[in-house]
C-alpha cells in the first residue's frame, strides 16, 4: 500500500515536465485534407500542416504546430499552444490560453479574454490584444507590451 501511495504522490508532484505530444494525424488528432483538430484535453503536434491549413487545438489541450502560408490556427480556451506559421496566416488565442506564436508577413494574431500571448513577427503583422496580456517582437526590434490594444510590425 505504501509503494502505491508513493507512486501516486510522485506522479502528481507537478515537476514541470513537458507533456508527451501525439503526432497528427493520430488517435488524439483527426485530419481531413488540410483540416486538423486536436481533441479537447489532448496533447498534439503537427509539422505536416502545409499551406492553407486549418488547425484547431481543443480546449485544455497542448499543441505544437508548424504550418505553411495562409494557415488558420485556433487555440481554444485554457490551452497551451506553440505555433509557427508563414505568410498570410491567422492565429486566434482564446480565453485563459497561453500562446507562443511566430508568424510571417501579412499575418494576424487575435489574443483575447485572459489569454497570454508572446508573438514574434518575422515581417509585417498585426496583433489585437483585448482583455489579454501580450508581448510583440517585431523583426530586429526590442519586445513591446501590448495590453488591451492593437499593434503592428511594419516588417523589414
44-62 per-position pLDDT tens digit: 998 877 788 899 999 999 9
**What pLDDT, in 10s, does the model give residues 101-148?**
999 999 999 999 999 999 999 999 999 999 999 999 999 899 999 988
Kindly report the pTM of this predicted structure: 0.84
Phi-psi region of 96 (alpha: psi -120 to 50; beta: other; left: phi over 0): left
Distance CA 137, CA 102 (A): 9
C-alpha span between 38 and 124 (Å, rounded): 29
1-51 confidence digits (pLDDT tens)? 333 333 333 332 333 455 677 788 888 999 888 899 999 999 999 887 778
What are the backbone dihedrals phi and psi of residue 58, each rounded to the nearest 5 degrees, phi first? Answer: -60, 160
Amino acid at each position: 500500500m505504501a509503494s502505491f501511495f508513493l507512486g501516486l504522490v510522485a506522479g502528481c508532484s507537478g515537476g514541470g515536465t513537458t507533456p508527451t505530444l501525439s503526432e497528427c494525424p493520430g488517435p488524439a488528432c483527426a485530419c481531413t485534407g488540410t483540416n486538423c483538430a486536436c481533441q479537447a484535453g489532448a496533447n498534439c503536434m503537427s509539422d505536416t500542416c502545409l499551406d492553407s491549413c486549418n488547425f484547431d487545438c481543443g480546449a485544455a489541450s497542448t499543441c505544437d504546430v508548424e504550418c505553411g502560408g495562409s494557415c488558420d490556427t485556433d487555440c481554444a480556451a485554457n490551452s497551451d499552444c506553440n505555433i509557427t506559421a508563414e505568410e498570410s496566416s491567422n492565429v486566434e488565442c482564446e480565453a485563459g490560453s497561453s500562446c507562443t506564436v511566430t508568424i510571417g508577413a501579412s499575418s494576424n494574431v487575435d489574443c483575447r479574454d485572459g489569454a497570454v500571448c508572446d508573438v514574434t513577427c518575422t515581417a509585417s503583422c498585426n496583433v489585437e490584444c483585448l482583455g489579454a496580456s501580450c508581448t510583440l517582437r517585431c523583426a530586429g526590434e526590442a519586445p513591446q507590451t501590448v495590453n488591451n490594444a492593437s499593434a503592428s510590425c511594419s516588417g523589414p
